[in-house]
A = this chain, B = another copy of it.
Amino acid sequence: MSDARKRAVVLLSGGADSTTALAVATREGYATYALSFRYGQRHKHELECAARVARHFNVVEHVTFDVNIGAFGGSALTAEIDVPKNRAIADMERDIPVTYVPARNTVFLSIALSWAEVLGANDIFIGVNALDYSGYPDCRPEYIAAFKKMANLATKAGVEGQQTLRVHTPLIQLTKAQILLLGQSLGVPYGLTSSCYDPGELGEPCGHCDSCLLRLKGFSEAGLEDPLVYAPESEVV
């Protein structure tokens, strides 16, 4: 049975943002190919979430790709550096935190580009956002624009003078609250997602890392309830 839909590769971490991006791609009618990464992250629970989310949205294929950039070190998400807790949101936006993984989005988008070219897909979706974010350089619009320009030169289409590859960032100008409201309107099951950088053994979110704090603030501002059950205070203090 042939599938007449256009194909899109969607980066899917299993978090609230990438899941919302997948919901947008689905609504826009793409045949979706979800791509997750084992990159040496300590919070591997997100990969189980990604698998559940991919199933929920009926993706054509879900690949979990091994690319252990965590072995290079340099980040609290992959190395033995403590994940910061209970930071003020304003502090998150001021500095690049220790949870930054060097060149992570560039590596992820490059691998997505490779898969997209094989699939004949001209569309890549990534759930970066530049407002309620953690100050990562590779979430900014100017970075995404530069990646797209490079990608169009890197591939066969570029040689043939076509500018066919598009990088979709449907969340880039939204606040976390707006993202969650958008997702709610698209039926995103946020109870299947995981945003925590430092979850407990059963995957329960800590409630205190930058990612949990941004998520909780977003749900609060959106007037929605986060369906996740957070770790009890006694365990996380």
Contact = CB atoms under 8 A, between A and B. Distances in A.
* Identical chains bound together, number: 2
Output the residue of A66, A111, A150 with the most chain B CB within 10 A: A150
Contact of A103 (B96, B101, B117): B117
A104 interface: yes
Contacts of A72: 114-115, 118-119
Interface string A136-171: 011010110011011101111011000000000000
Interface residues of A, number: 43
A137 B138 CA distance: 24
A74 B110 CA distance: 16
A107 B110 contact: yes
Contacts of A140: 153, 159
A57 interface: no
Interface in A167-197: none
